[in-house]
Amino acid sequence: MKKSKKNTKKHRFVINRYIAIVAFFAFSIALALTTRVAFANSKTVVLPGDMATSFAEVVENPTSWFFYNDENDTIDNALGTFINGPATPPEGKGGVQISVSGTQRRNLATYQFSGKKLADITTLAFSTYNPTVGNNGSVNRSAYLNFNVDFDGSDSWQRRLVFVPSDNGSVVQDSWQRWDAIGGGNALWRHSGATWPVTGEPGSTTKTWNQILTDYPNVRVRVTDSWLGLRVGEPYASGYTENIDKFEFSTATDSLVFDFEPSIAPPTSKAECKKKGWKIFNNPSFENRKECVQYVWDHIEPISGRPTAKDQCKKGGWRAFIDYSFENQKECTQFVKNYVEPRDGHPTTKAECKEKGWRAYSDPSFESKKKCLKFVKNNLEHHNDDEDDYGEHHDDDHKDYEKHEDEDEHEDDDDE
Q: Which residues bind Ca ion (CB under 5 A)?
A: 89, 91-92, 95, 245, 259-261
Sign of the torsion angle spanned by Cα atoms 31, 64, 263, 45: negative
Which is nearer to Ca ion, 95 or 307 (by Cβ)? Answer: 95
Which is nearer to Ca ion, 150 or 248 (by Cβ)? Answer: 248
Rounded CA gap, 63 and 249, in Å? 13
Rounded CA gap, 416 and 409, in Å? 12
| Residue 91 beta carbon to Ca ion: minimum distance, rounded to whole angstroms | 4
| Residue 46 beta carbon to Ca ion: minimum distance, rounded to whole angstroms | 8
Q: Are 282 and 46 in contact, with CB atoms under 8 Å apart?
A: no
| Residue 127 beta carbon to Ca ion: minimum distance, rounded to whole angstroms | 9
Angle between helices 397-412 and 369-379 (to 10 degrees): 150
| Residue 179 beta carbon to Ca ion: minimum distance, rounded to whole angstroms | 15
| Residue 193 beta carbon to Ca ion: minimum distance, rounded to whole angstroms | 33
Which is nearer to Ca ion, 262 or 317 (by Cβ)? Answer: 262
Which is nearer to Ca ion, 83 or 320 (by Cβ)? Answer: 83
Distance, C-alpha 110 to centroid of its chain = 20
Phi, psi of 203 (to 5 degrees): -60, -30
Q: Which residues of 57-85 are buried (b: 16+ CB within 10 A; e: fewer)?
A: ebeeeeebbbbbbbeeeebebebbebbee
What's the count of helices (H) and strands (E) in the chain, helices before strands?
8, 16
Which is nearer to Ca ion, 93 or 377 (by Cβ)? Answer: 93
Residues 6 or more apart in contact with residue 366 via CB below 8 angstroms: 353, 358, 359, 372, 375
Rounded CA gap, 141 and 129, in Å? 10
Rounded CA gap, 395 and 397, in Å? 6
Which is nearer to Ca ion, 92 or 307 (by Cβ)? Answer: 92
| Residue 340 beta carbon to Ca ion: minimum distance, rounded to whole angstroms | 57
Of residues 84, 68, 54, 86, the one with CA closest to residue 263: 84
User: Which single residue brings its beta carbon nearest to Ca ion?
Assistant: 92
Residues 6 or more apart in contact with residue 3 via CB below 8 angstroms: none
Which is nearer to Ca ion, 247 or 401 (by Cβ)? Answer: 247
| Residue 93 beta carbon to Ca ion: minimum distance, rounded to whole angstroms | 7
How are beta strands 254-260 and 40-46 bridged, if at all?
Answer: parallel
| Residue 182 beta carbon to Ca ion: minimum distance, rounded to whole angstroms | 22
Which is nearer to Ca ion, 44 or 74 (by Cβ)? Answer: 44
Q: What are the Cα distances from residue 287, in Å, to 273, 307, 316, 327, 415?
A: 11, 32, 20, 24, 29
Which is nearer to Ca ion, 91 or 352 (by Cβ)? Answer: 91
| Residue 259 beta carbon to Ca ion: minimum distance, rounded to whole angstroms | 4
